[in-house]
């Protein structure tokens, strides 16, 4: 299992070692001991899974303190463009976003620590996404940012006439107006 640093500190791509033969493949999707040796010490307590069709954008979501969540995101079926936005006030990368294509084929995972908003766009016909969280869902701490925020200017890779949003996501505030209690 390889940990790949991104352009934003604390945001990492996890790439498993895959063993293939005539039967198919095998890999460890998660190994706490291996990650702890690389100073990644989260204790995950909840798994979430979603299935979505092409053009669906989920997010940008996060939970405020004291129930903020670290997420480890991977794709079981299909392909997504996964995005994390640094919302930690005082961070040198505050307001910057990072995006990576995650797919069942490339088996990459994105480790998103507390203090980041998260969202993804489905690039394939369908996608099944699984993510581990180190804190339980707490609706009173639920927060988010509009996917099309002009300050962030994220290119989701979906034509505007093909974007599918939930009612909740269509009403999220802009980056500058979003609830935020993260500070470095």
User: Class for domain 2-177, per CATH?
Assistant: mainly beta
CA distances, 61 to each of 34, 39, 71, 106, 166 (Å): 28, 25, 11, 24, 12
Per residue in 37-54, pLDDT (tens digit) is: 999 999 999 999 999 999
User: What string of pLDDT tens digits covers the 184 residues of the chain?
Assistant: 999 999 999 999 999 999 999 999 999 999 999 999 999 999 999 999 999 999 999 999 999 999 999 999 999 999 999 999 999 999 999 999 999 999 999 999 999 999 999 999 999 999 999 999 999 999 999 999 999 999 999 999 999 999 999 999 999 999 999 999 999 8
| Residue among 103, 129, 108 nearest 18 (CA) | 108
Provide the annotated active-site residues: 61, 131
Per residue in 53-77, pLDDT (tens digit) is: 999 999 999 999 999 999 999 999 9
| Domain assignments of the chain as residue spans, ordered by start | 2-177
By CB neighbour count within 10 A (0-12 exposed, 13-18 middle, 19+ buried), where does 164 fall? middle
Residues ≥6 apart with Cβ < 8 Å to 30: 44, 72, 132
pLDDT for 184: 85
pLDDT for 92: 96
């Amino acid at each position: 299992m390889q940990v790949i640093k991104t352009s934003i500190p604390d945001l990492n791509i996890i790439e498993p070692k895959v063993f293939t033969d005539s039967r198919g493949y095998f890999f460890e999707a998660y190994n706490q001991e291996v990650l702890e040796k690389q100073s990644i010490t989260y204790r995950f307590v909840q798994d979430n899974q979603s299935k979505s069709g092409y053009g669906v954008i989920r997010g940008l979501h996060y939970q405020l303190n004291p129930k903020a969540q670290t997420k480890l995101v991977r794709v079981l079926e299909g392909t997504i463009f996964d995005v994390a936005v640094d919302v930690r006030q005082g961070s040198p990368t505050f307001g910057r976003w990072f995006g990576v294509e995650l797919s069942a084929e490339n088996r990459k995972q994105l480790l998103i620590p507390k203090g980041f908003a998260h969202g993804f766009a489905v690039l394939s016909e369908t996608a099944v996404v699984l993510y581990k969280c180190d804190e339980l869902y707490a609706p009173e701490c639920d927060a988010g940012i509009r996917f099309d925020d002009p300050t962030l200017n994220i290119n989701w890779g979906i034509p505007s006439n093909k974007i599918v949003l939930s009612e909740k996501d269509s009403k999220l505030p802009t980056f500058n107006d979003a609830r935020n209690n993260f500070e470095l």
